[in-house]
Amino acid sequence: MSKKQRAAWLFLTGLFIFTGVGLGLWSFWVSTHPPKDTTSNSQTTNTAKDKNVNKLKGTQLQNFTPVGKVDTLQKIDTTVGNGTEAAANSTVTVNYTGALASTGVIFESSLDNSGQPVTFGLNQVIKGWTDGVPGMKVGGTRRLLIPAAMAYGAQGSATIPANSDLVFDITLLNVK
């Protein structure tokens, strides 16, 4: 091998090593130093971004296999509470996650709102909740499979297609 060939091989080897190390360092830098927010209200923007990191909306409901049709209201207690029991006319405070039963895709969750629970009377919600929540005890978690007729029916809603069967995971936090 001539001196020119050896020099060329050494140059290519050095270039290969330099490029590999350079790309590795650049990748490390990019992954450990997020871009700076250039908006004037960066603290608010970063807080909003942080809240959206673990959004449930649009993801799959955990431990749920989509079903083609829900014929009757199904109540499945995954955790039985030991507190006050909800009655038909109760005002309840809950965390919930709702999904389409046919796909398991979440359309709404109170956990997406900084984990803030919601409070309402059981006479103010869809029939599936009015009939499905009573009997739960504070501290309990229940999965409701709700036929479309007991949900939003033929009209649907802004986020729920018409005639959609629904599934809700509900954690009961308080009863009044």
- Note the pLDDT tens digit of each residue in 69-114: 999 999 999 999 999 999 999 999 999 999 999 999 999 999 997 7
Closest to 83 in 3D by CA, of 172, 8, 156: 172
pLDDT by residue, tens only, the chain of 176 residues = 788 888 888 888 887 787 777 777 766 666 676 665 444 443 434 444 444 456 899 999 999 999 999 999 999 999 999 999 999 999 999 999 999 999 999 999 999 977 899 999 999 999 999 999 999 999 999 999 999 999 999 999 999 999 999 999 999 999 99
Query: Using CA atoms, how far apart are residues 98 and 105, in angstroms rounded to an integer?
Result: 8
Ordered DSSP codes for 30-80: HHHSPPPP-STTHHHHHHHHHHTTT--TTSBPTT----S---S-EEEEEE-
User: CA 154, 120, 44 angle in degrees (round to 5)?
Assistant: 95
Closest CA to 169 of 9, 61, 54, 50: 61
Q: Is 118 helix (H, G, I), strand (E, B) or coil?
A: strand
Give me the CATH code for the 74-175 domain, please. 3.10.50.40
Strand (E) or helix (H) holding 93:
strand 91-100
Q: Output the pTM of the full model.
A: 0.70
Non-local (6+) Cβ contacts of 142 within 8 A are 75, 76, 77, 78, 132, 133, 136, 169, 170, 172
Q: Where are the domains of the chain?
A: 3-51, 74-175
